[in-house]
Structure 1
Amino acid sequence: MEAAFKGFGPKALPFLKALDFHQSREWFLENRDLFEQELRDPMGDLVDTLTERFSAAGLGLRGDRKKSLFRINRDVRFAKDKRPYNRHLSAILSPDGSKAVHGVFYVHIGLEGCFAGVAWWQPEPALLLAIRRSIAAQPDRFRTMVAALKKKGLELDTEGCMKRTPRGFEHVEDADLVAAIRNRHFVVRHVIDPVGIHGPELVDELVDFTLRAKPLLDWGRAIEAEHA
């Protein structure tokens, strides 16, 4: 591990606020050192530290201080919003350390809020269908997972859910199962107090959240294994 996480710099969020105001490559290049010192390098340290802690906890999630970070630059090729820079910095830890798999941990430090998530986000159609079929065919296993999350103070996010039940699941009648089958993502979130991003205690907070989210990880991984 290159360096233990000590916290994001005191100017991390003010830097993002200034970058959002200027949205200028020239301004960013002039202030790159501040970005690296206050945001990028601490995020790399956080990824390294969480990789070590997640391994010790048997969570099966890891990352790389460079490859796990998302770029601060926005891809504006097909976007109506042509601002060149994001209002946040984020990173992902996953079973194989890449961004191309599901069942991941995500951390987001930004002007619109700071939060972490454990998620199957936008699973490809075959996996999403397998998840939905599992909910319909094994409702007890799904409900056990939901109950375990609730006991730990977490619940599945319903953002972006479908308004209608997808084709092939019209026979499902129980309201909780219908709501779950309409989900496009399977996510639990943890809100981070921005005041708390500046110290090493954030690591314990994020490890605790991910351990509480483990029922979702285990449930999704079991479905993946059955339909591999």
Structure 2
Amino acid sequence: MLKTVSFLKKIKANNNRDWFEKNKNSYLEAKEEHEIFIDKIIKGVAKFDKKISPDMKAKDCVFRIYKDVRFSKDKTPYKNNFGASINPGGKKSLVAGYYLHIEPGASFLAGGVYMPEAEMLNAIRQEIDYNPDPFFKILNSISFKKYFKGLDDEGKLKTAPKGFDKEHPHLEILKNKHFLVSYPLSDKQLNEKDIEKTIVAGFRAMNPFLEYLRIATS
């Protein structure tokens, strides 16, 4: 990941079109390295998640580095990260899947559903309401807790969601607007020889959580 990390550090300090065009070769080298790495991750995930095809390619999962700045206050033209969403159906799929974010000083692996539409969000909440035991068994399992402390609570509601009692025993979970888990990756880890194994192992630990969400929203 040396070329990837090196380029991302440079683009963060030189986020403009002139610099990018002059250093296009560095970008292409980093992009190629990253895609080769993602191809390996896909094959690793496909061994335990049969919904992920081993024939899926990095190009189906990796997001473009070019930003859409039309509605953003930050007008810098490029992202400071490489992101890849390994989902059944690829990066545009709404099915619960895996995400890898490479950014110097802020890398992480994650998975679940982010900003689900109302129907999908309600389906997840209803599944937890009707069938909570498997969900909490997953969250409390040793393999899961080795990587994840619990659900990320970004944007969590302050009150009970519509249709649920404020005295509901699992109210704090039901308040979530996203159903995500994440695990940070240090820059040191990114340079370790077994980083691929670390990421795949984290995704494996996450898989029962994703399967629960997939069943809930199927």
TM-score (norm 2): 0.89
Distance 2:189 2:78 in 1: 24
Which residue pairs with 2:42 in the alignment? Answer: 51
Is 1:106 equivalent to 2:99 in the alignment? yes
Which residue pairs with 2:12 in the alignment? Answer: 20
Distance 2:177 2:44 in 1: 30
Is 1:89 equivalent to 2:82 in the alignment? yes
1:161 partner amino acid: K
Distance 1:217 1:146 in 2: 11
Partner SS for 1:106: strand
Which residue pairs with 1:3 in the alignment? Answer: none
Which residue pairs with 2:58 in the alignment? Answer: 65
1:166 partner amino acid: P
Superposed CA RMSD: 1.9
Q: Trace 1:107-186 onto structure 2 (pairs within 5 A).
A: 107-148=100-141, 150-154=144-148, 155-174=150-169, 177-186=170-179
Partner SS for 1:117: strand
How much has 1:150 moved relative to structure 2? 4.9
2:35·2:58 contact (CA, 8 Å) conserved in 1? yes
Distance 1:202 1:111 in 2: 15
1:198 partner amino acid: N
Distance 1:222 1:172 in 2: 26
Q: Cα distance 1:83–1:153, how it changes in 2: closer, same or farther (>3 A)? A: closer
Number of equivalenced pairs: 214
How much has 1:205 moved relative to structure 2? 0.5
1:108·1:114 contact (CA, 8 Å) conserved in 2? yes
How much has 1:33 moved relative to structure 2? 1.0
Q: Cα distance 1:153–1:200, how it changes in 2: closer, same or farther (>3 A)? A: closer
Unpaired runs of at least 5, structure 1: 1-7
How much has 1:206 moved relative to structure 2? 0.9
1:138 partner amino acid: N
Partner SS for 2:109: strand
CA deviation string 1:170-192 (max 9, x = no partner): 25432xx1111111111111211
**134-143 or 105-114, larger mean C-alpha shift:** 134-143
1:55 partner amino acid: A
Partner SS for 1:66: helix
Which residue pairs with 2:22 in the alignment? Answer: 30
The percentage of counterpart residues that share the same residue type is 27
2:144·2:205 contact (CA, 8 Å) conserved in 1? no
How much has 1:70 moved relative to structure 2? 1.0
How much has 1:112 moved relative to structure 2? 4.7
2:103 partner amino acid: G
Q: 1:202 aligns with which of 182, 192, 195?
A: 195
TM-score (norm 1): 0.85
Distance 2:145 2:82 in 1: 31
